[in-house]
Amino acid sequence: MTTPRSILITGCSSGIGYHCALSLHERGWRVFATARRDADIEALTTLGLEALRLDVADTDSIEEAVAAVLEHTGGRLDALFNNAGYGQPGAVEDLPADALRAQFETNVIGAQQLIRAVLPAMRTRGHGRIVNHSSVLGIVALPYRGAYNASKFALEGLTDTLRQELAVTAPGIGVSLIETGPVRSQFRANAYRMYQRYIDASTSAHRDIYEAVERRLAGSGDAPFTRGPEAVCDKLVHALEAPRPRARYRVTVPTQLFGLLRRILPTRGLDAALLRSTAAERR
């Protein structure tokens, strides 16, 4: 019998990670689905997935989870999908240092530490796929998302550098980015919790705008052009299974549009377009 391909996916408790874990399992992949909470791990296990505890903001947790995966697979891991992440809302001038550190710990440093942990096994086999989950906000910046913008711009730079380095030293390992726009998930609810934790709107020069920000974060319904998580999974499957994976996969109309505008507009023109696109969020 052919040994099934194996993948480690972070952030599988809900949304994109949850959908991708189940879909890849149905395609015959051996999926190691990770989450932070015991209840989520138990739920994933009941669905037939090999679920592990992994907190991407905790280096010890990362090392323990990867060691467990390699033990279960006899040292083989075919792919890593760095999916876990969240968005920290707030004006740049209102972000406490702890909020910015926490954003980078999860969205950038955790991803890099996972890459460090899995690469030796991939190098030994001469093959592997690493897919990092980025965003339209790794292409352009939008107001009141400074921490998230910064983390995704950093992840994009880290991924591009990694791809070039591995092209020289381990050409059998593919590296891709999936840049998503609005996708149905718990992203907005999680962002609202982090906003409440770190942002003091009462003393801010932006307090009037924060009223609109709070309504948007606490509201229900989808943003325009929102896609389901299957749109991300389709790109992930290509990044994992295609003989020549792309460097970038853009998901949703806003991602494709803003990527185009980034190429053709001067900086001031792009700023004006982005501010117009988010004007309703500030009213």
Q: What pLDDT score was predicted for residue 221?
A: 77
Q: Does residue 230 belong to any structural domain of this protein?
A: yes
Q: What pLDDT score was predicted for residue 220?
A: 74
Q: How many whole angstroms separate alpha carbon 61 and alpha carbon 84? A: 14
163, pLDDT greater than 80: yes
Q: Does residue 176 belong to any structural domain of this protein?
A: yes
Q: How many whole angstroms separate alpha carbon 83 and alpha carbon 194? A: 18
Average pLDDT over every residue of 146-169 = 98
**What tens digit of pLDDT does each residue of 164-215 get?**
999 999 999 999 999 999 999 999 999 999 999 999 999 999 999 999 999 9
Dig out the tokens for 256 from the structure.
């494709």
Q: Does residue 246 belong to any structural domain of this protein?
A: yes
**What tens digit of pLDDT does each residue of 248-276 get?**
999 999 999 999 999 999 999 999 999 99
- Please state which of the ranges 92-96, 150-154, 219-223 shows the lowest mean pLDDT: 219-223
Contacts of 246 (CB under 8 A, 6+ apart): 176, 238, 239
1, pLDDT greater than 60: no
Q: Does residue 248 belong to any structural domain of this protein?
A: yes
Q: Number of structural domains, the chain? A: 1
**What tens digit of pLDDT does each residue of 36-75 get?**
999 999 999 999 999 999 999 999 999 999 999 999 999 9
Catalytic residue ranges: 148
Confidence of residue 2 (pLDDT cuts 50, 70, 90): confident
Parent domain of 213: 6-282
138, pLDDT greater than 80: yes
Q: Does residue 1 belong to any structural domain of this protein?
A: no
Whichever domain contains 29, its CATH number is 3.40.50.720
225, pLDDT greater than 90: no
